[in-house]
């Protein structure tokens, strides 16, 4: 299929009212969810996923991608208005956004956040379109040994960058790998960790684990440590960003966008590190560096460009290699699987119409983000003021409904609550949940490719070191482990010096 034919095939899938409505609704849902303190883009995507099972594949995935993009921007609203980031990626936006709001320029800060978000989102989408196909064509040369080393490298990165402690990140990833082995062994047909319960023969339900790990702990945290509600709705004041202000911040926006694209394409890093790196680079190179942290518009632009630049780029490893770029794309990969699609290089051959349909949809989502964001700036200041006692009971109802609706199985609801307590204990002990979820998803792929490689070689481990591709990923894995250990040693020394 030629490039023009691929574009036309994709356009035939998304050039209809249902697709545009799904995108529009997704961006709106994500923006509202991101604007509610305690919610997050991750939770919004997780709660939306069960409602997509009866949809067409392209409609379902576009809806989830819209929620993802809207949620990343929406987190800046409470970050600027009430100094409470709606998402972890919006933490850097607080540094200059809230001081601007204190000066009566909340509307200007939100306006710059919107312009920076839409610019970075467009750049990130273009990077996805340009690089995903090339990477997928390269990945067609992969066999089981190459995929095994790639997934092992991805797990190494995820375990290392998803928290302050390497040990805690590795522990979380290993627990996820362990639970991924529950169920029927597809090679020998034996039961593993089922404890004689037929309900566990199919493994733990992905949706139950996902919602239990991310949504339930937030509800439990609210019950464990309730906080009094305070009315904090704020006047927006001067809410117009001039062309001169946008032009002054443009270099930082573009720089932050490319930082987001680069970090987003590396599995496991996510938006928060990108936002802080973009902010620090903008501060280092800005002539107004002394004003950063006191209400500098360029600081808001840089942090929002950094976290929104990740949104499209995280889909590069997902679509090209079948490896989720962050925790949200790990959820979205579930939508692909539910609809019988396997992300990876073969998708660019077997489902090229869906690939280009997603590309077109993502470009359109940038337009919707600007339109909905403009409305959100004026109207969603009240959303940030929803009492937690009203919000979280509704979230709990959605969690139970979403999990039960997958298989109409009460056992899955029990799994969700058990995983909720596991996630809550992990939260209380600063053990990151992202490595757990991504390892739970990649675990079966890691095992299957390893066993296929062993069957191909007659159980000889030498096959895992065949050719330059496997050596390349082994080298990256070793370098990553060394870098993480050195960073851990350096952090320990700094702590001792402060003590």
Q: Is the pLDDT of residue 312 over 90?
A: no
Q: Is the pLDDT of residue 380 over 70?
A: no
* Predicted pLDDT of residue 489: 77
Q: Highest-confidence range of 245-259, 324-338, 485-499, by mean pLDDT?
A: 245-259
62-to-14, 54, 208 alpha-carbon distances in Å:
9, 14, 22
Determine the average pLDDT of the residues in 282-288: 81
Structural domain of residue 325, as residue ranges?
3-498
* Predicted pLDDT of residue 212: 83
* Predicted pLDDT of residue 331: 82
* Placement of tokens 């509610």 in the chain: 36
Tell me the chain's radius of gyration from C-alpha atoms: 22
Q: How many domains does the chain have?
A: 1
Angstrom distance (rounded) from CA 271 to CA 284: 20
Q: How confident is the model at residue 231 (pLDDT cuts 50, 70, 90)?
A: very low
Report the interhelical angle of 206-214 vs 434-457 (nearest 10°).
Answer: 150
Angstrom distance (rounded) from CA 145 to CA 449: 7
Q: Is the pLDDT of residue 74 over 70?
A: yes
Instruction: Report helix, strand or coil for 427.
Output: helix
Determine the average pLDDT of the residues in 465-480: 87
As a whole number, the mean pLDDT across the chain is 80
In percent, how much of the chain has pLDDT > 70?
A: 86
């Amino acid at each position: 299929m030629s490039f023009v034919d691929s574009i036309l095939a994709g356009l035939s899938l998304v050039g209809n009212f249902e697709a545009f409505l799904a995108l529009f609704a997704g961006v709106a849902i994500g923006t509202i969810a991101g604007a509610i303190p305690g919610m997050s883009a991750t939770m919004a995507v997780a709660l939306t996923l069960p409602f997509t099972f009866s949809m067409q594949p392209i409609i379902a995935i576009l809806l989830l991608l819209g929620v993802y993009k809207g949620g990343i921007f929406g987190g800046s609203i409470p970050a600027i208005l009430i100094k409470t980031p709606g998402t972890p990626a919006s933490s850097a936006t607080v540094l200059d956004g809230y001081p601007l709001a204190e000066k009566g320029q909340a509307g200007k800060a939100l306006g710059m956040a919107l312009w920076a978000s839409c610019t970075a989102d467009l750049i990130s989408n273009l990077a996805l379109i340009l690089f995903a196909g090339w990477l997928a064509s390269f990945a067609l040369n992969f066999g089981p040994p190459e995929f095994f080393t790639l997934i092992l490298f991805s797990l190494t990165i995820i375990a290392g960058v998803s928290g302050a402690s390497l040990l805690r990140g590795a522990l979380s990833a290993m627990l996820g790998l362990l639970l991924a082995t529950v169920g029927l062994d597809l090679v020998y047909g034996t039961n593993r960790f089922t404890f004689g319960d037929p309900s566990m023969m199919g493994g733990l339900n992905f949706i139950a684990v996902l919602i239990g790990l991310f949504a339930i702990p937030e509800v439990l945290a609210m019950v464990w440590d309730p906080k009094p509600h305070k009315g904090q709705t704020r006047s927006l004041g001067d809410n117009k960003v001039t062309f001169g202000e946008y032009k002054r911040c443009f270099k930082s926006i573009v720089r932050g966008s490319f930082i987001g694209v680069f970090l987003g394409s590396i599995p496991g890093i996510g938006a928060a590190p990108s936002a802080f790196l973009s902010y620090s680079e903008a501060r280092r190179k800005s002539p107004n560096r002394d004003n950063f942290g006191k209400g500098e518009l360029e600081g808001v632009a840089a942090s929002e460009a950094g976290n929104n630049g990740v949104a499209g780029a995280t889909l590069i490893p997902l679509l090209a290699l079948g490896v989720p770029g962050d925790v949200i794309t790990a959820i979205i990969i579930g939508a692909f699987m539910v609809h019988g699609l396997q992300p990876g290089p073969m998708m660019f051959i077997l489902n090229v119409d869906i690939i280009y349909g997603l590309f077109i949809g993502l470009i359109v989502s940038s337009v919707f983000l600007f339109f909905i964001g403009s409305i959100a700036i004026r109207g969603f200041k009240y959303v940030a003021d929803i009492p937690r006692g009203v919000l979280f009971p509704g979230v709990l109802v959605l969690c139970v409904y979403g999990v039960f609706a997958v298989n109409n199985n009460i056992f899955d609801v029990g799994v969700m609550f058990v995983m909720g307590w596991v996630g809550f204990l992990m939260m209380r002990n600063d053990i990151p949940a992202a490595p757990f979820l991504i390892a739970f998803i990649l675990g079966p792929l890691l095992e299957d490719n390893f066993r296929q490689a062993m069957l191909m070689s007659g159980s000889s481990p030498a096959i895992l070191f065949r050719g330059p591709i496997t050596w390349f990923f082994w080298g990256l894995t070793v370098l990553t482990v060394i870098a993480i250990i050195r960073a851990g040693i350096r952090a320990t020394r700094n702590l001792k010096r402060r003590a």
